[in-house]
Amino acid sequence: MKILIVSDITWGPATLRALQEAVREVQPSAVMVAGDIVDNKSGDLDACWRGVLGFFRYLSESRIAATYVRGNWDRSPGFETLSRAKLPFIQNSTSRVIELAGLRVLGIPHQFTNNLNSARALSSAFPENVDIVLAHAENIRRVWLLHLNARVVVTGHFDEQIAEVRGKLLISTWNFPRHFVVLDWRPRQLDIEYQYPSSHPRSSTRRATFSKRGLVWKNRPFANSEEYGRRLDALLNARERLLSGLEEKQTLEQQLLALGVPERHIREYLARPA
């Protein structure tokens, strides 16, 4: 089953056509929008939201299931108008679990990682087992998404990245129409493609697979994906060792700094709640 993933959509005269072309090319069973459905910071926002409604109407008329989560630029009243629209096959997964083409999807909006206390509370707020977490998350607090019970974490807002962390797959995407992601979901293996419509598809597509054997790149890996995964795993390990009293905080901080983990990430993640 193919899932088309986009986020941080920059709207212009050709954006709706580019989205429809991506759908026709991929022929997905489902579409996920990982926040910032309207990424424009200026211009005619009403026209942008009309484009959004046009896209979801196109998916609905094509009988393609879709879901979206709220990003930091998804302002009122446009987002509320979209949420109230009666479009079959289209669901708002913001702050709740929905079923999408047979998969359980939990939507984590930007507000949950914009604040450290709410990021810390994610796993208690959403204890459900799901297949996919669909988020729009701050880079500094994405490690908290890995506390959730999911096979795959997809987030918009920043960066292009694929990483394996403790048997989970993390996919980060941003800026359509610059690129989009195709996730081919199978019971035992996930195939991931980053496609860049403005370039020649054969030379620009990045491909990887994820299974019990781990993450395996087929071509053009992101230069820091393995390192990124190791740093997230090290953060998780450090917090566990700190909370269990196995190691002193200062020692753990020095170990993480030596791995290249940003100091602010370390201080936030290892800090005890006030």
Exposure b/e, 46-82, CB count within 10 A at least 16 = b: eebbebbbebbebbbeeebbbbbbbbbbbeeebbeeb
pLDDT tens digits for range 72-95: 999 999 999 999 999 999 999 999
**Three-state DSSP class for residue 103:** strand
Which residues does 223 contact at the CB level (< 8 Å), separation at least 6? none
Name the percent of the chain lying above pLDDT 90.
Answer: 93
pLDDT greater than 80 at residue 273 = no
Give the confidence band of 202 by pLDDT, cuts at 50, 70, 90: low
- Does the pLDDT value for residue 42 go beyond 80? no
Question: What is the per-residue pLDDT for 272?
Answer: 82
Contact 59/100 with Cβ under 8 angstroms? no
Sole residue written with tokens 């629209």 = 85
